Amino acid sequence: MSSFTHLNADGNPAMVDVGAKTVTRRTARARSVVSLGPDIMQHLNGHDISTKKGPVFQTAIIAGTMAAKRTDDLIPLCHSLGLDNCQITITTEGSEAIVDCLVSTEGKTGVEMEALVGASVAALTIYDMCKAFSHDIIIRETKLMEKTGGKRDFRRE
């Protein structure tokens, strides 16, 4: 049976000690799906939606990248990591925006949380910038799609 890694022997919250781990190449990709609906998708022009606040997807990419770099400020027990790369892509399928955040670093701990935070904040930014068109926006899901470089690799089909 697995135990929670962020609890000390007394059951209190604690950062995981990664001092003895070896440095490896760590990658993670997370995805958020934002259901926008036809009222918003009618404003799609090429590969972006323009609003009075500016280009939605381009702004969301910047916001998600900034958030991924500051994950340790948002999630209390995350380690501070210098990211080697953070790439956010946004595509559309029907009336949904698909946000993918790919993060990598050379380190002793994984970047799953950085990828999840990047995808989540990009999705929230899409919501914020499109809410003037409609409040029927739903951030349907955020999930880890794959990770490499730790004890075990993971890939969601």
Distance CA 12, CA 87 (A): 35
Residue of 17, 100, 128, 153 marked catalytic: 128
Q: Which two tokens stand for residue 26?
A: 């760590």
Return the H-helix or E-strand segment holding 104: strand 96-107
Whether residue 72 lies in the annotated active site = no
Distance CA 95, CA 113 (A): 27
Question: What's the Cα-to-Cα distance from 131 to each of 51, 53, 124, 128, 147, rounded to whole Å?
Answer: 10, 11, 10, 6, 32
Type of residue numbered 98: I
Annotated catalytic sites, by residue? 128
